[in-house]
Amino acid sequence: MDEEVSARVELAGVSGMSRARAQSLIDRFGSARAALRASPKARAAWLSPPLAESIEAALRAPVARQRLADAEARGILALGPNSPGFPAALASIPDPPLLVWVRGPLPDGAALAIVGARRASTRALGCARGFAAEIAKAGIAVISGLAYGVDAAAHEGALDGRGRTVAVLASGLDQVTPRGQTALAERILASGGAWLSEHPPGEGAQPRHFPERNRLISGLAGATLIVEAREKSGSLWTARHALEQGRDVLVVPGPIDSDLCRGTNRLLRDGATPILEPADAIEAVLGPLSRRPVAPESEASERSAPSDPGRAILTLLADGPRDLDALARALGRRPAELSGLLLELELTGLVRRDGARVARTRPG
């Protein structure tokens, strides 16, 4: 068992302990494990008397090991910032989680967050689902919050595109929030996606958890796409978090006389990037090389010839399909860079993707 993760679970569970206070203790002593092994006097110098006593009470009756074992029995793992598989993107945000609880494999390549109104218009639901499908086909993971409306449509679209999607929950992973989304959540796992939360199993969703959860949605992704949002929508919190984290905010424009689009249109007024088609969002995540101009017929044969990296990919696929991660390692390329190269080969009909697997469309 990872002793640092166990210490973080113990520290996070101390009555009255805020995330900020726990992080300050970790920073002061160098690790959560060191903070809990320090003398009561050393800890007390940095804490209020009630909180210092709460830590002593927790240490007299530790719960972390049992909590971790129970979670593992449910297929849920706890990851700290130094754990293998911890999302590197979350480690760099201004308010990182002490640890995350995960069920299912987290994608390690390019990712886009897609969020929007719960009571969304038919236009927005169709847009979110259609965009997410094309984005998933480009090898970009879709991150959202499993809420009704745009979030659910984004997850559905990623599944339509046979891609990977991550549901970030505001409760422990032993209970799906909202409960009506259980079937969709199970489909996400079955497709190779994942659930993620910073709350331990057994902890229900509280109102304050949702804005905090939104910072993880934006933090996991290279950019956040807002499809539709009222002026006081929770999705605008996600946009604010994205900006604080140095991430791009992308927006699908809507009718200027629609209350449903007033929040998103104001984001555009304030400098967000307008997204008119899936290729715009793909380019925002993967870069301009992901968008190929339409070439005249005379250039078709030249366009279909793969680049040197493309030929290397085709050579590796000559013996059969490969997993995306294995292919990236074999080529010595970052997953995001590989996604752009694969998109070029897909557009010329040389390869096809089925979820996380890549295959040649015809023998070499």
The pLDDT tens digits of the residues spanning 111-142 come to 999 999 999 999 999 999 999 999 999 999 99
Tell me what the mean pLDDT of segment 276-302 comes to.
68
Question: How deeply is 5 buried, as exposed, middle or buried, from its count of CB atoms within 10 A (0-12, 13-18, 19+)?
Answer: buried
Distance between CA 287 and CA 283 in Å, rounded?
A: 5
Q: pTM of this prediction?
A: 0.78
Q: pLDDT digits over 166-218, tens only?
A: 999 999 999 998 899 999 999 999 999 999 999 999 999 888 899 899 999 99
CB contact at 8 A, 116 and 262: no
As a whole number of angstroms, the distance between CA 265 and CA 228 comes to 9
pLDDT value at 287 more than 60: yes
Confidence of residue 298 (pLDDT cuts 50, 70, 90): very low
**Backbone conformation region of residue 4, classed left if phi is above 0, alpha if psi is from -120 to 50, else beta:** alpha
Q: Give the mean model confidence (pLDDT) for residues 140-155.
A: 96
Q: What is the pLDDT of residue 261?
A: 93
End-to-end Cα separation, the chain, in angstroms: 47
Q: For residue 297, what pLDDT is reported?
A: 41
pLDDT(273) > 80 = yes
Where does the pLDDT of residue 5 fall: very low under 50, low under 70, confident under 90, or very high at 90 and above? Answer: very high
Instruction: Note the pLDDT of residue 328.
Output: 78
User: Taking the alpha carbons of 190, 145, 264, 120 in that order, is the dihedral positive or negative?
Assistant: positive
Residue 300 has pLDDT above 50, yes or no: no
- For range 220-228, the mean pLDDT: 96
162-to-203, 208, 287 alpha-carbon distances in Å: 31, 33, 22
Taking only the tens place, the pLDDT of each residue in 307-349 is 577 788 888 888 788 877 777 778 877 655 666 677 667 666 7
The pLDDT assigned to 176 comes to 93
% of the chain exceeding 90 in pLDDT: 68
Q: Which of 126, 141, 152 is nearest to 221 (CA)?
A: 141
